[in-house]
């Protein structure tokens, strides 16, 4: 693990998230993994050196949609404690995640996107900044 890289939190470890997180660990990022499926983050963290898991409660199926207002509120709350957040829907499907050839549509502050570019470059081939936090989920 490269100690000069920042620690990264990664949420969502399904079909695409698991290989994406794996690319970041291989690139030397310390990872804190989160997933809504109980036990999934711990299972994956056990296979990735430098990764730890924080399980979150499973959510009901109707709560799976992404709401821009929720993204904005969450980002504001995290900002109060000095944590930056971006919304970054991806295109490329499972094969793109495995091959690190995803396309990212990003919402968030331009300075935060610049800091995130090295991570996105580990997982994909193109990045588009769509505006402030929440813009990518609208």
Decide if pLDDT at 1 tops 60: no
Task: Give the model confidence (pLDDT) of 54-78 as tens digits.
Answer: 976 555 456 556 678 888 998 999 9
Q: Residue 100 to residues 6, 29, 51: CA-CA distances in angstroms?
A: 20, 16, 19
Note the pTM of the prediction, 2 decimals: 0.84
Judged by DSSP in three states, 90 sits in strand
Task: Give the model confidence (pLDDT) of 27-56 as tens digits.
Answer: 999 999 999 888 999 999 999 998 999 976
Distance (Å, rounded) from C-alpha 78 to C-alpha 44?
Answer: 25
With beta carbons less than 8 A apart as the criterion, state whether 114 and 108 touch: no
With beta carbons less than 8 A apart as the criterion, state whether 46 and 67 touch: no
pLDDT in the model for residue 64:
57
Task: Give the model confidence (pLDDT) of 85-135 as tens digits.
Answer: 999 999 999 999 999 999 999 999 999 999 999 999 999 999 999 999 999
Nearest to 87 by CA among 108, 66, 116: 108
DSSP tag of 123: H
pLDDT in the model for residue 36:
86
Higher confidence at residue 102 or residue 9? 102
Higher confidence at residue 48 or residue 1? 48
Distance (Å, rounded) from C-alpha 25 to C-alpha 21?
Answer: 6
Distance (Å, rounded) from C-alpha 63 to C-alpha 3?
Answer: 36
pLDDT in the model for residue 6:
84
pLDDT in the model for residue 21:
95
């Amino acid at each position: 693990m490269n100690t000069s890289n920042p620690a990264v939190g990664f949420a969502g470890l399904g079909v695409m998230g698991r290989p994406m997180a794996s690319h970041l660990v291989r690139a030397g990022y310390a990872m804190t993994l989160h997933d809504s499926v109980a036990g999934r983050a711990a299972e994956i963290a056990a296979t990735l050196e430098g990764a730890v898991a924080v399980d979150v409660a499973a959510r009901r199926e109707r709560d799976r949609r992404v709401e821009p207002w929720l993204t904005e509120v969450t980002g504001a709350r995290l900002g109060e404690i000095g944590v930056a957040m971006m919304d970054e829907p991806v295109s490329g499907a499972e094969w793109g995640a495995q091959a690190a050839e995803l396309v990212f549509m990003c919402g968030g502050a331009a300075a935060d996107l610049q800091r995130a570019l090295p991570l996105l470059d580990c997982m994909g081939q193109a990045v588009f900044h769509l505006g402030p936090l929440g813009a990518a989920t609208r």
